[in-house]
Amino acid sequence: MEKRQELYRGKAKTVYATDDPHRLIMHYRDDVSAFDGVKLAKLDLKGETNNKINAFVMGKLADAGVATHFLRVLNERESLVKAMKMLPIECVVRNVCAGSMAKRYGIEEGTRLREPIFEFFLKSDALHDPLCNDDHIRVLGWASAGEIAQMRALTHKVNAALAPLFAGAGIDLVDYKLEFGHPTADPAGPLVLGDEFTPDGCRLWDSRTGEKLDKDRFRRDLGQVIERYREVARRIGAPL
């Protein structure tokens, strides 16, 4: 497998082509961003820490029967993934009310939810990822009714696998964001989980103390960002 040209540079990862058109390399950089790219920094060890956490979580999800784009770790900061055509939708699951949901409805952060709440957002930094519903997605052509149903079903399957994984490590999985797409090798087949699962895209609170162990440490200037990411890795058993 040969690494070829850069295809896309996101806020924290760069994607490279390979000699196989259906396989890409995801390179995790040390960059961190928040508020749709407005707040930017570099954090030592972030790339390799997230590469390793992502690989471990994607493995657990595959074990739980969730198809993912992840193939294998290549080196400290790179993993091989299936090339995907991604839907422009972010799927958020909330087990505890926090972040934008707390603000939007005037509910105190930390309020437990009777059952998980599922939200869709349009993926657009320029529009600040606006909340949207099934009708917006279907009627505006961002995804079909069948894809919406698959995103919901897969997301609930992810929650059933990950909430206990983090709970076993003394961590509350408060909320997280998932992105789905179709492998370019099977464009008409079922949806597959893409992007990443790392502390950049979820909220993780220590179950006992409530301490934040995720990117809110960066957003809210709490310090010790990567120290806490690495603590998450150790506690869930992801090799660093």
Residues at the contact surface with ligand ASP, assessed by CB under 6 A? 11, 33-37, 215, 219
Among 57, 87, 202, 238, binds ligand TMP (CB under 6 A): 202
Among 81, 92, 191, 193, binds ligand TMP (CB under 6 A): 92
Q: Which of the choices ligand ASP, ligand TMP, none does residue 92 contact, using the CB cut-off of 5 to 8 A by kind?
A: ligand TMP
The CB density around residue 211, as the number of other CB atoms within 10 Å, is: 15
Count, residues near ligand TMP per rule CB under 6 A: 14
Least separation in angstroms between CB 38 and ligand TMP: 12
Piece in contact with ligand TMP (CB under 6 A), picked from 49-57, 77-85, 97-105, 143-151: 97-105
Q: Are 185 and 175 in contact (CB under 8 A)?
A: no
Which residue's CB is nearer to ligand TMP, number 81 or number 92? 92
Nearest CA-CA partner of 66 in 43, 91, 49: 91
Least separation in angstroms between CB 17 and ligand TMP: 25
DSSP string, 175-224: EEEE-EEEETTSTTS--EE-S--STTSEEEEETTT--B-STHHHHTT-S-
DSSP strands (E only) in 53-197: 70-75, 78-82, 84-86, 89-96, 112-122, 131-132, 171-178, 180-183, 192-193
The two counts, helices (H) then strands (E), for the chain are 6, 15
Least separation in angstroms between CB 200 and ligand TMP: 6
188: exposed, middle or buried (C-beta count within 10 Å: 0-12, 13-18, 19+)?
Answer: exposed
Q: What are phi and psi of 173, to 5 degrees?
A: -85, 95
Decide: is 199 part of the binding site for ligand TMP (CB under 6 A): no
Residues within window 98-127 making contact with ligand TMP, judged by CB under 6 A:
98-101, 121
Alpha carbons 145 and 151: distance in angstroms, whole number: 10
Least separation in angstroms between CB 51 and ligand TMP: 17
Decide: is 129 part of the binding site for ligand TMP (CB under 6 A): yes
Piece in contact with ligand TMP (CB under 6 A), picked from 1-9, 109-117, 135-143, 201-209: 201-209
Alpha carbons 169 and 111: distance in angstroms, whole number: 21
Q: Which of the choices ligand ASP, ligand TMP, none does residue 157 contact, using the CB cut-off of 5 to 8 A by kind?
A: none
Q: Interface residues with ligand TMP (CB under 6 A)?
A: 90, 92, 98-101, 121, 129, 175-177, 201-203
